[in-house]
Amino acid sequence: MGNIRIFDTKAGQVVDFKPLRPGRFTMYYCGPTVYNYVHLGNLRPVIVFDILTRLFKAEGYQTKVVSNYTDIDDKIINEALEEKKTEREISSFYIDAYQDSLAKLNLLPLFYRPKASEVIEKMEGFIGVLLDKGYAYKAGDDVYFRTSRIADYGSMSHTIIENNQAGKRIEVNDLKESPYDFALWKKTADQGIKFDSPFGRGRPGWHTECVVMIKSVFGQPMVDVHGGGFDLKFPHHENERAQSIGYDGTPLASYWMHVGFLTAAGGVKMSKSLGNVVLAKDCLSRYSGNALRLFFCQSHYRAPIAYSDEAMEKAEADGRRYVSTLQKLEYRAEWLNTDLNGAKPDAEVLSKALGFLADDLNVANALTVLERQVRVALTILRQLRPRPEDLRTSYATLAGLYDFLGIKFDHVALSVDGREEMEEFEKAHSEHRFDASDELRADLIKKGIL
């Protein structure tokens, strides 16, 4: 297992990864609140953490990765009231829509996708422990977390608490001991879904669900990595960490990773009010999953990236070029009766690409390795009858690189007509019937065989 380095938000720098358990990698990243179609920016962390998981698998780790659905939320309730449907109907519809988008991205399967509604009783027990330990208190009909009990509250997100004015990034409630305290359970009298609990009939706070899901789904107090979008650092992830410390004395995760924003062209923030939000389903109806992956790979995962149709079209063209190059190797190998099964890649090339990915997911440099190997493959393909070992090595190397980045390709088989046309082309070329060979070449290129 090679040395993997990642940027830890709390440390504020790139650090060496050390697993909680040797040879095992555990990660949890926050999923969507399912009250509407997800916007394209929601898919950036999904792709980033998929590539990170592929890195750990390639390095020989056993991986266990989980991402959730927030299916209890005021936004879901409001949408349900507006559409005259139940919260379950709303959340189920948008979960299905989200999964339709995910299905186009060639993602590694997750261990589990828990829902907040599945852990209500566990959240109640969790809050009860915090109350017993003095990390939580009742204020009127609600239960709040006492942030003053966490000596380094704000340290993970590097937030200076005094600078967060009440009413901006925190809840305002005159019954709270501190404006920085946050709700663990709210007694509600609205038309939304409610649950009976020892604290009253109401709903849990958003910041509690992920902590409880991590501890219950993984069956352990901590995970190696907790990830999400840049916007979740504070207050969401900071509050998750605080609750975990209060509950069992652990900081919930060894490392915290956050993915940069997707912006509109020119770096302008995407927002519904500006009308420049791109929905994931709309983008994926125009472009392939490979294109979206390659688009996000243009920038380092911690940096913002600006969406544009021009950038997506280039990514689409690159994706088609990568896939067609590999498929041409398959066509040529089949025509020459060269078996690609069990082909060995160039280990030095794969090691170099993994080295870049292990350096805090330096995907841009890994792509330069891939581009070089695409050029190698095209050079091999310029020979009508290249050496079988060259075909096999080039194919296995490209397939390995594509797997590291999650680039999807379909295997192809040469049809009887395609084989006959290749034979005709070779014969015409060898007999110097250049008009005929040029015509056959053009047709084979059009079909993606040559």
d(CA 283, CA 293): 12
pLDDT level of residue 191 (50, 70, 90 thresholds):
confident
Q: What was the pLDDT predicted at 165? A: 42
Q: What was the pLDDT predicted at 170? A: 46
Phi-psi bin for 175: left (phi > 0), alpha (psi -120 to 50), beta?
alpha
The CATH number of 5-259 is 3.40.50.620
Cβ atoms within 10 Å, residue 52: 24
Three-class SS state of 183: strand
Q: What was the pLDDT predicted at 173? A: 58
Please tell me which residue, 174 or 9, carries the higher pLDDT value. 9
**How much of the chain, in percent, has pLDDT values that exceed 90?**
89
Mean pLDDT of the chain: 94
Q: What is the mean pLDDT of residues 177-200?
A: 89
Q: What was the pLDDT predicted at 192? A: 80
Nearest to 91 by CA among 226, 5, 193, 228: 193
Q: What was the pLDDT predicted at 164? A: 52
In the chain, % helix, strand, coil (3-state, to 5) comes to 50, 15, 35
Task: Determine the Cα angle at 218 with ends 2 and 225, to 5°.
Answer: 40
pTM for this model (two decimals): 0.94
d(CA 206, CA 236): 8
Q: What is the mean pLDDT of residues 150-160?
A: 95
Q: What is the mean pLDDT of residues 372-384?
A: 97
pLDDT digits (tens, 9 = 90+) for 112-131: 999 999 999 999 999 999 99
pLDDT exceeds 60 at position 167? no
pLDDT exceeds 50 at position 186? yes
- DSSP labels, 205-231: -HHHHHHHHHHHHSSSS-EEEEEEEGG
Q: Which two tokens stand for residue 141?
A: 């009909």
